[in-house]
Structure 1
Amino acid sequence: MRSATTDLPDVSVVMPVLDEEAHLRDSVRQVLDQDYDGALEVVLALGPSADRTHEVAAELTRSDPRVRTVDNPSGRTPDGLNAAIAATRGEVVARVDAHAEIPRDYLSTAVRVLQETGADNVGGVMDAQGRTPFERAVAVAMKSPLGVGGSRFHVGGAAGEVDTVYLGVFRRAALESVGGYDPHFARAQDWEMNHRLRGAGGRVWFTPELVVTYRPRSSAARLFDQYLNYGRWRRVVARRHPGTANARYLAAPAMVAASTAAAVIGVRWRPALVVPLGYLGAVVAGGWYISAGEPARVRARVPVVLATMHWSWGIGFLTSPASLARAGERP
């Protein structure tokens, strides 16, 4: 659909929501305050939250007719996304997370880039910004190839076609042509869906003009759990789509396997300890290098953050049960 007063396509923003009482009001307000001149609607897919998320959502629907809600009983992200998309009507569908912070020109820029490039999905930079020393250390690691590899949505780069993007602003026709998000993937659903989109001849486009503020995990335990699940579900993608696990995704599990084996061997043959000790030295030196300009209390935490991200991803990938790759099986 297109607006009756402009030649711009109608935009539907979909937002999966679970336990987001603290952020939901601000996130929705940022969407409603966009400078986009076309018609705009927001659909919130409400999971079974334990806080006051539902009350906040009800206030938002009463205060603005552009905001609607749908139920997401499972609370899982792909289920919520699909439910919200099914309830929308816009020619363009934009995914926005309830804890993301988007600039005022996010939608107008995304629609312009869609029209200029002919792409089917457009996304930009996942700009990690921390407040505490630990969060700032995570942000440093997330913006470096040493932490997360060379994906442009993490480290930036020139505009162009890519494998996947952060969040995404889609042409509805392309999204529907591949059946939307696979409900099996509790994690990595963006990467998996974009893989199918590209396989069907679609184009996924990165532009540095789009910058979304991302708030990192606040503790080592939460960071470990996050990247453990990333690694676990990236292995599921590799099993479902053979040939997609490139060197960047295999680096962490290879390091975990090699360091663990060398440490065991090193109990009897000390020279083998050069492997885990070499990794330790590289993480400390690399962390110190990529955090140049940060306060000492942040720089001191970056090696810990890097090691947490590497080891949790690698362990998750290596220990991911084969049963997770079976179609229809829920975690």
Structure 2
Amino acid sequence: MKKVSVIVPCYNEEATIRLLLEAIYQQSYPLEDLEVVIADGMSTDHTRQKIADFLNEHPRLHLRLVDNTKRAIPSGLNRAIEAAQGEYLVRLDAHSVPAANYIEECVAALDNGYGDNVGGIWKIQSVGKGWIARSIAAAAAHPLGVGDALYRVGANAQYVDTVPFGAFRREMAVQIGLFDESLLTNEDYEFNMRIRNAGGRIWLDPAIQSIYFTRSNLRSLAQQYWRYGYWKAQMLRRYPKSIRWRQALPPLFSASLLGLFISGFFFSLAWKLLALELASYIGIMLIAGLSTALVQKSLGYLAGLPLAIGTMHIAWGTALLWGIIHPVSASSLTK
């Protein structure tokens, strides 16, 4: 069997880290051929203690904890790769729970030559129990929230631009230069972009499945999507042709709202156009919320889904625009 290293960047993940470790321990892949390398961003909660407790309870699991002093995800991934000893690397997230055959399916896809980076689909769940938390989870898998992101909405096996997490050969990762530590988010898409530019292929296989836990409130959701949007803008400076239609719509929507609002002080027609655009948008969101509420038999989605999707659109769209006009400085990357 191939030696596999599971690499996990984390920071303050006490709520979910044990769920991940339990799922890894229960994998169908032989434990003797498996190691786990967690790169912790110097967590200030009980993450490290929970990892230590799990290791004491499961001494058969080969687990190493390395420091990620920069705290960012790409630096954590690189520290984990540098410490890993496996021929194959399986990236996972502390917010995820892989299916029992996850690693086995990843290794099979790589061995069969389907792709240079292989991944699967998310079964999205809420880490919270309130109506907002459930609505955020629904929004993260709704076409209006994520467009054609196939790993979120489900798809047949096929070649794609990117996959969540991913599994790949260590040799390939080293050859293309590991993860770009100057991108604090969108590092996975950029990594896959370099793979494809080098002639490699990205394979999405629905047999590879994991549960992904979403944010539990609108504030943390807005912060997450602001970060996504801002760093997407930085990546677009290098790869301007990489933007997809679904990614262009939120910044265009945000720009149109701002443009019509400012124009309204000079042209009265702009106020009417702004009202029409907002009414149309809200109407579409309410229809989506009603549809989800009927399917899930819960009225909370009627308001919750529009609020969650709207937060995602506005945060991501405005952040991307801000990132275009306000590029990241080199000094900010060293803080």
TM-score (normalizing by structure 1): 0.91
C-alpha offsets along residues 153-183 of structure 1, whole Å, 9 cap, x if unaligned? 1111111110100111112222111111111
Structure 1 counterpart of 2:101: 105
Give yes or no for contact 1:323–1:329 (8 Å, CA) kept in 2: no
| 1:203 has 2:232 as partner | no
- How far apart in 1 are the matches of 2:114 and 2:120? 16
- How far apart in 2 are the matches of 1:328 and 1:36? 41
Give yes or no for contact 1:110–1:210 (8 Å, CA) kept in 2: yes
Correspondences of 1:1-331 after superposition (within 5 Å): 8-37=1-30, 39-62=33-56, 63-64=58-59, 66-130=62-126, 131-266=129-264, 268-269=268-269, 270-272=271-273, 273-294=275-296, 295-320=298-323, 322-324=326-328, 329-330=333-334
Give yes or no for contact 2:120–2:163 (8 Å, CA) kept in 1: yes
Gaps of 5+ in 2: none
Are residues 325 and 289 of structure 1, via their aligned partners in 2, closer, same or farther at CA, if it must alter by over 3 Å? farther
Give yes or no for contact 2:96–2:210 (8 Å, CA) kept in 1: yes
Give yes or no for contact 1:324–1:330 (8 Å, CA) kept in 2: no
Give yes or no for contact 1:161–1:206 (8 Å, CA) kept in 2: yes
SS in structure 2 at match of 1:175: helix
Give yes or no for contact 1:94–1:169 (8 Å, CA) kept in 2: yes
SS in structure 1 at match of 2:327: helix
C-alpha offsets along residues 291-316 of structure 1, whole Å, 9 cap, x if unaligned? 54121112321111111111111111
C-alpha offsets along residues 104-150 of structure 1, whole Å, 9 cap, x if unaligned? 11111111122224311111112211243212211222212211110
SS in structure 2 at match of 1:211: strand
User: 1:95: Cα distance to partner?
Assistant: 0.8
SS in structure 2 at match of 1:13: strand
User: 1:29: Cα distance to partner?
Assistant: 2.3
SS in structure 1 at match of 2:178: coil
Give yes or no for contact 1:61–1:68 (8 Å, CA) kept in 2: no
Which has the larger displacement, 48-57 or 208-217? 48-57
Q: Which amino acid aligns with 2:103?
A: L
- How far apart in 2 are the matches of 1:303 and 1:31? 35
Q: Which amino acid aligns with 1:212?
A: S
Are residues 161 and 330 of structure 1, via their aligned partners in 2, closer, same or farther at CA, if it must alter by over 3 Å? farther
Give yes or no for contact 2:114–2:203 (8 Å, CA) kept in 1: no
User: 1:329: Cα distance to partner?
Assistant: 3.9
User: 1:98: Cα distance to partner?
Assistant: 1.5
User: 1:60: Cα distance to partner?
Assistant: 4.0
- How far apart in 1 are the matches of 2:125 and 2:19? 17
Structure that is richer in helix per residue? 2
Are residues 126 and 247 of structure 1, via their aligned partners in 2, closer, same or farther at CA, if it must alter by over 3 Å? same
User: 1:190: Cα distance to partner?
Assistant: 0.6
Are residues 327 and 104 of structure 1, via their aligned partners in 2, closer, same or farther at CA, if it must alter by over 3 Å? farther
- How far apart in 2 are the matches of 1:171 and 1:257? 42
SS in structure 2 at match of 1:9: coil
- How far apart in 1 are the matches of 2:76 and 2:281? 40
- How far apart in 2 are the matches of 1:244 and 1:39? 37
How many pairs were matched up? 324
Gaps of 5+ in 1: 1-7
- How far apart in 2 are the matches of 1:263 and 1:292? 35
SS in structure 2 at match of 1:206: strand
Which has the larger displacement, 93-102 or 108-117? 108-117
Give yes or no for contact 1:18–1:46 (8 Å, CA) kept in 2: yes
User: 1:73: Cα distance to partner?
Assistant: 1.1
- How far apart in 2 are the matches of 1:312 and 1:27? 29
User: 1:246: Cα distance to partner?
Assistant: 2.6
Are residues 153 and 327 of structure 1, via their aligned partners in 2, closer, same or farther at CA, if it must alter by over 3 Å? farther
Structure 2 counterpart of 1:5: none
User: 1:26: Cα distance to partner?
Assistant: 2.8
- How far apart in 2 are the matches of 1:73 and 1:132? 34
- How far apart in 2 are the matches of 1:193 and 1:160? 19
Q: Which amino acid aligns with 1:46?
A: D
User: How high is the sequence identity, in percent, across the aligned residues?
Assistant: 32
- How far apart in 2 are the matches of 1:248 and 1:44? 33
User: 1:260: Cα distance to partner?
Assistant: 2.4
Are residues 327 and 92 of structure 1, via their aligned partners in 2, closer, same or farther at CA, if it must alter by over 3 Å? farther
